[in-house]
Homo-oligomer: A and B are copies of this chain.
Amino acid sequence: MSTDRLSATFAALADPTRRAILARLALGETSVTELAAPFDISLPAISKHLKVLEHAGLIRRGRAAQWRPCRLEAAPLKEANGWLEEYRGFWEESFDRLDAYLRQVQSRAKKRARKK
């Protein structure tokens, strides 16, 4: 797998557990044990996910000896969002086209109703 930063970010986001971890951390920093609690997977599995997130720069872990709290780091998300924003024109355009089509269908239906 490629290791450029944007690729690492998207790869880290390509897993529902990792996205759920980020959603939890959006509520505030927490310990790994607390983080693992709602998930039905082992602590080593959670640790592996945290390593992927940390490698992508999406989380940072505290240095406190006993309690190493995880914190969300938003900079890579901003970068990924910036990449996606370049394509905004495309999805807005396709919704405009759908909107125009639906209005056309509606107007035809009204005309037909008037004829009856």
- Name the one of B14, B88, B91 contacting A11, with C-beta atoms under 8 angstroms: B14
Task: Report whether over half of chain A's contact residues are helix, strand or loop; otherwise say mixed.
Answer: helix
Tell me whether A7 and B2 are in contact (CB under 8 A): no
| Count of chain copies | 2
Question: Quick one: CB contact mask for A1-44 with B, threshold 8 Å, 1 for yes?
Answer: 11010111111011110010011001000000000000000000
Residues from chain B with Cβ under 8 Å of A86 in the complex: 23, 26
Tell me whether A13 and B10 are in contact (CB under 8 A): yes
Tell me whether B7 and A14 are in contact (CB under 8 A): yes
Task: Give the distance in Å from the alpha carbon of A19 to the alpha carbon of B81 in the complex.
Answer: 14
- A64 interface residue (CB < 8 Å to B): no
Interface residues of A in 63-115 (CB under 8 A from B): 72, 74-75, 77-78, 80-81, 83-88, 90-91, 93-94
